[in-house]
Amino acid sequence: MPPKKEECLCGQCGKVVKEGIQCDICDVWWHPVCAGINSDLCESLGTNEQLHWYCIRCNSGAGKLLKEVLKMQDRMASVEDKIKKVDEMMDKLKEGMCKDVDKVLTNIKKDLDERPTEKVIKQLIADEMNKIKNEFFALKDLQPCAEIRQQVEDLTTAFVNDGKWTDVVKRQVEIRINDVSEEIQDIHKMVVETKQKADTEIDREQRRKNIIIYRVPESSATSYEGRMNDDKKLVGKIMDCVYGENYENYESQHITKVIRLGRRKDTGDRPLLVQFENGMDKNYLMNNLRRLKNGDEILKKLIISHDMTMSEREDCRKQVEEAKLKAAEDQSGEYIYRVRGLPGAMRVVRWRKY
């Protein structure tokens, strides 16, 4: 069948393919003769969508690659399901905590509204003291002298005007209010911590598909579009080196964003952020960075890392320090210590030097 694009070159002889077959993995076109198949079989493969053909370069690793892709897709589905469940749990927790806070505040308001004021308490105590005084003076069998009568009057007046008992009641009310305030502060602290954890998970999920590339030379182009194209070309070289694919085709299918981080300056090369369509492609790239050693001098100098949150960067820094410490303590000099793993689950590994 003829290629959809004009001037597609054969993956074997490099000549233009007018009638041929396309590899389902690398999308490169081949002449039937170069691919080692006859024209009738070539036509059948091109018209039947259920049949797939892989070129010589891709065929050896296609089966293994497909198995790994299916496994990674299953893992991604499992992780996404767990993230969905965590989000649902967080939503329920937030909803429950908000209801609890509203309930506590309502009870506090009701409790405070029902509490008698200091003036009312003082009046109640005065009424009780006057009642006791009147009952005392009403006793028929007791004829108190003026001195006793005056002492009772003074005691009653002192009790009402002194303020000591009302101060005690006031202090108890203040203690209760302080206790309730502490409970509200604890609930507020719990709500803040829960929100921070939720924000951290959201931030981690947004960075999961990104990588950061350091030591990328700044483009000398004068326009923004020109500089962006130069950055994409460099990313294309990385893709070619790691995947062996055409970058333009790869970008349209797997990469959603290529941008510089920070403001452009006269000196210093800004990091480059690359966002993949899914985390599986990004992790495949990170696991095969060793292939950049086969690239040119620019690719060999690049440093590529995961896009991590602040807590993940701190954890990575500690792991790097631990790796350096173990390397210094290793007197044999036979091993290399490196930090490996996904953000949040990094660890120090070692392997023997070749």
Asked if 274 and 255 count as a contact pair (C-beta separation under 8 A), the reply is yes
Q: Confidence band (pLDDT; 50, 70, 90) for 140?
A: very low
Crossing angle between the packed helical segments 224-243 and 247-254, to the nearest 10 degrees: 100
From residue 109, how far is each of 102, 105, 121 by CA, in Å? 11, 6, 19
Q: Which of 295, 257, 292, 301 is nearest to 276 (CA)?
A: 257
How far apart are alpha carbons 127 and 133 in whole angstroms?
10
Average pLDDT rounded to a whole number, residues 1-22: 78
Residue 46 lies in a domain: no
- Domain assignment present for residue 106? The answer is yes
Q: Are residues 169 and 116 in the same domain?
A: yes
Burial 241-259 (b: 16+ CB within 10 A, else e): bbbebebeebbeebbeebe
pLDDT at 16: 86
Q: Are residues 242 and 171 located together in one domain of the fold?
A: no
> Would 62 be classed as within a structural domain?
no
Asked, for residue 13, whether it belongs to a domain, the answer is no
183 in the same domain as 243: no
Residue 249 has pLDDT above 80, yes or no: no
Residue 48 lies in a domain: no
Q: Using the structure block, give the residue that is written with the tokens 């090369």.
A: 269
Ramachandran sector of residue 219 (left: φ over 0; alpha: ψ -120 to 50; beta: rest): beta
Residue 273: strand pairing partners: 212, 259
Shared domain for 177 and 113, answered yes or no, is yes
Residue 22 lies in a domain: no
**Identity of the residue numbered 214:** Y
> Is 125 exposed, middle or buried (CB count within 10 Å of its CB: 0-12, 13-18, 19+)?
middle
- Cα–Cα distance for residue pair 151/136, rounded to 1 Å: 12
Whether residue 297 is found in the same domain as residue 326: no
Type of residue at 170: K
The reply to whether 301 and 314 lie within a common domain is no
Q: Are residues 318 and 291 in the same domain?
A: no
**The two three-digit tokens of residue 231, written as one number:** 């950055």
Q: Establish if 81 belongs to a structural domain.
A: no
In this model, does residue 250 exceed pLDDT 70? no
Q: Does residue 253 have a pLDDT over 70?
A: no
Overall average pLDDT of the 292-318 stretch: 87
pLDDT bucket at 291, cuts 50 / 70 / 90: confident
Number of domains comprising the chain: 3
User: DSSP class of residue 223?
Assistant: S
This prediction has a pTM of 0.43
CB 304 within 8 A of CB 212: yes
Domain stops at, among 164, 198, 232: 198
Are 129 and 184 members of one domain?
A: yes
Residue 34 in any domain: the answer is no
* pLDDT for the residue 37: 84
The boundaries of the domain holding residue 312 are 308-354
Across 158-168, average pLDDT: 53
State the angle between helix axes of 164-207 and 118-137 in degrees (0 to 180), rounded to the nearest 10: 150
28-38 tens-digit pLDDT: 888 888 888 88
Q: Is the pLDDT of residue 151 over 60?
A: no
Q: What is the largest CA-CA distance in the chain?
A: 137
Q: Are residues 222 and 252 in the same domain?
A: yes
Mean pLDDT, the chain, integer: 77
The count of C-alpha atoms lying within 13 angstroms of the C-alpha of 7, restricted to the half-sphere facing its C-beta, is: 0
Mean pLDDT of 5-27: 81
Q: Do 146 and 129 fall within a single domain?
A: yes
